[in-house]
Amino acid sequence: MMANHSHGTVEGPDDGGASGGRADRILLAHGDGGLLTANLVEEVFLPYLGGQQSEKLLDAAVIQPKGCGRLALTTDSFVVKPVFFPGGDIGSLAVHGTVNDLAAVGARPVAITAGFILEEGLDLDTLVAVVRSMGQAAATAGVRVVAGDTKVVERDAADQLFINTTGLGEVLPQADLAFAHIAPGDRVLVTGTVGDHGVAVVSRRRGLAFDTPVRSDSAPLFDLVAPVLEEVPGVKFLRDPTRGGLATTLKEIALSAGVEIVIDEERIPVNDAVRGACDILGLDPLYLANEGKMLLVVAPEAVAPTLQRLRRHPLGATAAEIGVVQAWAGKGELWLRTPLGGTKRLDRLAGEQLPRIC
Amino acid sequence: MMANHSHGTVEGPDDGGASGGRADRILLAHGDGGLLTANLVEEVFLPYLGGQQSEKLLDAAVIQPKGCGRLALTTDSFVVKPVFFPGGDIGSLAVHGTVNDLAAVGARPVAITAGFILEEGLDLDTLVAVVRSMGQAAATAGVRVVAGDTKVVERDAADQLFINTTGLGEVLPQADLAFAHIAPGDRVLVTGTVGDHGVAVVSRRRGLAFDTPVRSDSAPLFDLVAPVLEEVPGVKFLRDPTRGGLATTLKEIALSAGVEIVIDEERIPVNDAVRGACDILGLDPLYLANEGKMLLVVAPEAVAPTLQRLRRHPLGATAAEIGVVQAWAGKGELWLRTPLGGTKRLDRLAGEQLPRIC
């Protein structure tokens, strides 16, 4: 009856209640956006939901109803803890996360829906503050919240509140983004510093105060990337490095595009405060979630005009070229060139680094 | 800072941790689809999310991106307990609930998204069974799951699993449904028996076994209502009576359309087993959730052709005319004519009857 699962291909880390490397229960790491999340998608969701089309269950799907241009549809649930953190809250994050998934397929956000799951006893002031923040974030992002739903569960059946946002967007006619376009020689760009969101949330969660407080980078990115898509030929692929961080996202791109990627550690922008906090907390900024950054893969001749346009926008002021695409050598590897000239293999996040980061 | 809330207009029932009839915390009843849910929408969600347009935050919004026909977008989160119940499970329910909200605005389902929130430790077999059921329900309903998301929260931060489904549909060109079309003299029809879903879930939850087990009516309704919309002139309004049941749904329609509605108790189809279970459990079938039924408001001359088409479909075999619309008398009342000739005022569900019914 459960053939897929009984073949036991969902791998668990050794320490996670798994027997023989195999998980028969959901682990926190299944939600961290890394290797186990990918396994869950490939081995549970795709077989039953991807269905006959054997399509990839993407974060944002591009569909084309009769008579329409290309539309993008994307969904995300938000369970971030704590609900309020420096630079944002679960409400603004829910808007930004979803409009950024639309931006990653080149889509202008048109409408979002909001589904709330509330814990009995939730302070109404908390809900009001979150909903108001959500409304402000939607207005700033130029998107309307068109439909909603609220469920309430008993005390201790949820932790305060969870929000699902689903976004509908119109794909820019100029956007032509696909894994298949990525080719050796292409360059990897990032629109700014990495790790800020992860550090902001975990610092607040653990009650840590740093001399220079780190704020989440949570922000809507369509206006940042639209001029690039509209004006620069040779833009091949976009993705926002959220859960799992820059490293996991680039490793997934390498695997899906059938290429290798080499990034330069020195060229990856990281705020000093984030670097300091990571040292103290034992975290790696390359694996921390970002909520206001985009990775771009572009043809070599597109690097200069892309950086120029990105840097015109406040959210792209520290945009940088950080790596290069190389030919597939059999494994879709992601390599990190260190300042001392060494080269280190990077894999997807494996085992939870930080649960409930978004 | 929280002006809206501090004006204190969100009403709570006397017994629900509220002070002076006012709730400053979320109560289970805020999620039951009745009066408190409506208050929450009107006093928290609409002010901040309905925004400048001061539009009603509907279950299904109709939007029209550039160049497209009318599209419908709807969202629902599912928290039903238990996860498996006679006649369905949280996976099939999540598909049916969302495609039925689309059907209620006359929209053929095109695509749905699925957002999962999983509790750490959830049995993987449970997840696989739910996802498989979801895939089967989607295939039956003729809709594709195009995007997904999974989050995992710590043990006891959620109860097993919650699912959000958001649906995109194409509105039938013939569909012309609006509160404003409803007029005195119009008739109220229901596509079949009421109360089945509520009784099925609560029986399983409480471990009750009846001689005749009650199964949920959970089913996709577009194919049932499409021929009516395509072929019968004079169909004014559709809504699926889920949370809050038939009574709450009709009361909302009366209020929103600015009319009064009178329904005949004897004409409302209720399965004998549901009636018996309601007697034992102290429940009113008119306030129990349905997940495979539609209410229709139609012009008098549309009654016969509508019933004829509904009854052709297995899900409409017991379709019935149950009431009539009357002129607004100041309060948007819903009246129940009892078998003995009396008349009883019905209000929206107030205070939780059954939490986590869907």
Q: Searching chain B, which residue's CA lies closest to the CA of residue A76?
A: B149
Cα distance from A115 to chain B (closest Cα, Å)? 6
Cβ–Cβ below 8 Å for B48 and A132: yes
CA distance B290 to chain A (A): 16
* B241 within 8 A of B295, measured Cβ to Cβ: yes
Per DSSP, the residues of B131-168 read HHHHHHHHHHHT-EEEEEEEEEE-TTSBSSEEEEEEEE
Between CA A135 and CA A143, with CA A138 as vertex, the angle to 5 degrees is 135
Chain B residues closer than 8 Å to A162 by CB = 117, 151, 153, 158, 162
Using a 10 angstrom Cβ sphere, with 0-12 exposed, 13-18 middle and 19 or more buried, the burial of residue B305 is middle
φ/ψ region of B62 (left if φ > 0, alpha if ψ in -120 to 50, else beta) reads beta
How high is the ipTM of this complex? 0.92
Q: Of A43-57, A188-202, A212-226, B294-308, which range is least confident?
A: A43-57
Q: Which amino acid is at B66?
A: K
At B209 the pLDDT is 79
User: Token pair 């023989």 is at which residue?
Assistant: A20
Type of residue found at B44: V
The CATH homologous superfamily to which domain A58-171 belongs is: PurM-like, N-terminal domain (3.30.1330.10)
In 3D space, the residue among B217, B222, B183 whose CA is nearest the CA of residue B300 turns out to be B183
Q: State the nearest Cα–Cα gap between B233 and chain A, in angstroms.
A: 24
pLDDT over 50 at A212, yes or no:
yes
**Residue percentage of chain A with pLDDT more than 90:** 77
Enter the pTM of the model. Answer: 0.92
Segment B137-150, tens digit of pLDDT: 999 999 999 999 99
DSSP secondary structure letters along B76-91: EEE--SSSEETTEEHH
Average pLDDT over residues A142-170: 95
For residue A260, which amino acid is it? E
Q: Across residues A128-132, what is the average pLDDT? A: 97
Q: How far is A284 from chain B (nearest CA, A)?
A: 21
Q: Which of A41, A59, A75 to mutate to test the interface with B (most CBs of B within 10 A)?
A: A75
N-terminal to C-terminal alpha carbon distance within chain A: 34
- Domain range annotation of chain B: 58-171, 179-346
pLDDT at A179 over 50: yes
Please list, in sequence order, all residues whose beta carbon lies within 8 angstroms of the beta carbon of residue B30, skipping any fewer than 6 positions away. Answer: A118, A150, A152, B23, B36, B37, B39, B40
CA quadruple B147, B153, B155, B159: dihedral positive or negative?
Answer: negative
The closest of B161, B159, B124 to A18, measured between CA atoms, is B124
Q: Which of B60, B117, B129 sits opposite A147 (nearest CB)?
A: B60
Lowest-pLDDT choice from A221-225, A248-252, B33-37: B33-37
pLDDT mean over A159-180: 96
Which of B146, B172, B242, B357 is the best residue to mutate to test the A interface, defined by the most A CB atoms within 10 Å of its own CB?
B146
pLDDT class for A272, splitting at 50, 70, 90? very high
CA-CA distance, B222 to B107, in Å (whole number)? 8
Max Cα distance, chain A (Å): 57
Crossing angle for the helix pair B90-103 and B222-231, to the nearest 10 degrees = 10
Closest CA to B226 of B214, B218, B213, B235: B235
Which residues touch A33 (CB under 8 Å, ≥6 apart)?
A242, A243, A244, A248, A289, A349
Antiparallel, parallel or unpaired: β B187-190 and A60-63: unpaired
Q: Hey, are the CB atoms on A119 and B71 less than 8 Å from each other?
A: no
Cα torsion for B212, B214, B215, B216, to the nearest 10°?
170
**Nearest CA among B217, B130, B248, B197 for reference residue B356:** B197
**DSSP 3-state assignment of B323?**
strand
In whole angstroms, give the CA distance from residue A251 to residue B134.
30
- Six-digit token string for B31: 């999620």
Q: Determine, for residues A75 and B166 on separate chains, whether the beta-carbon distance falls below 8 Å.
A: yes
Place B352 in a pLDDT band, splitting at 50, 70 and 90.
low
Q: Quick one: which of A178, A316, A317 has its CA closest to A238?
A: A178
Cβ distance of A113 and B75 shorter than 8 Å = yes
Whether the per-residue pLDDT at B103 is higher than 90: the answer is yes
> Residue B58: its pLDDT value, please?
58
Inform me whether the pLDDT recorded for B237 exceeds 70. yes
Instruction: Return the structure tokens found at A29.
Output: 């790491």
What tokens were used for B225? 């209502």
Q: Which superfamily is assigned to B179-346 in CATH?
A: PurM-like C-terminal domain (3.90.650.10)
Do residue B164 and residue A77 have CB atoms under 8 angstroms apart? yes
Task: Tell the residue number behind the tokens 């809250």, with chain if given.
Answer: A89
Q: Which residues of A304-322 are buried (b: 16+ CB within 10 A; e: fewer)?
A: ebbbebbbebebbeebbbb
Q: Say if strands A343-346 and B259-264 run parallel, antiparallel, or are unpaired.
A: unpaired
Q: How many CB atoms lie within 10 A of CB B232?
A: 22
* Tokens 């369970």, located at residue: A79
pLDDT tens per residue, range B136-194 = 999 999 999 999 999 999 999 999 999 999 999 999 999 999 999 999 999 999 999 99
pLDDT value at residue B59: 64
| DSSP symbols for B198-221 | HHHHHHHHTT---SSPPPP-----
Q: Do A150 and B63 touch (CB under 8 A)?
A: no
Task: Give me the amino acid identity at A90.
Answer: I
What value does the mean pLDDT take over residues B302-326? 98
All residues at 6 or more sequence positions from A128 whose CB lies less than 8 Å from its CB, including other chains: B2, B4, B5, B44, B48
Q: Tell me, what's the pLDDT at A135? A: 95
pLDDT score at A352: 67
In this complex, the residue of B24, B57, B158 whose CB is nearest that of residue A148 is: B57
CB contact under 8 A, B118 and A77: no
When scoring B164, B170, B205, B354 by the number of chain A Cβ atoms within 10 A, the one with the most, hence best to mutate, is B164
Contact A348, A13 (CB under 8 A): no
Q: How many CB pairs under 8 A join A and B?
A: 321
Neighbours of B98 (CB within 10 A): 32
Is A69's pLDDT higher than 70?
Answer: yes
A59, A78, A148 member nearest B49 (Cβ): A148
| Contact: A124, B355; criterion CB under 8 Å | no
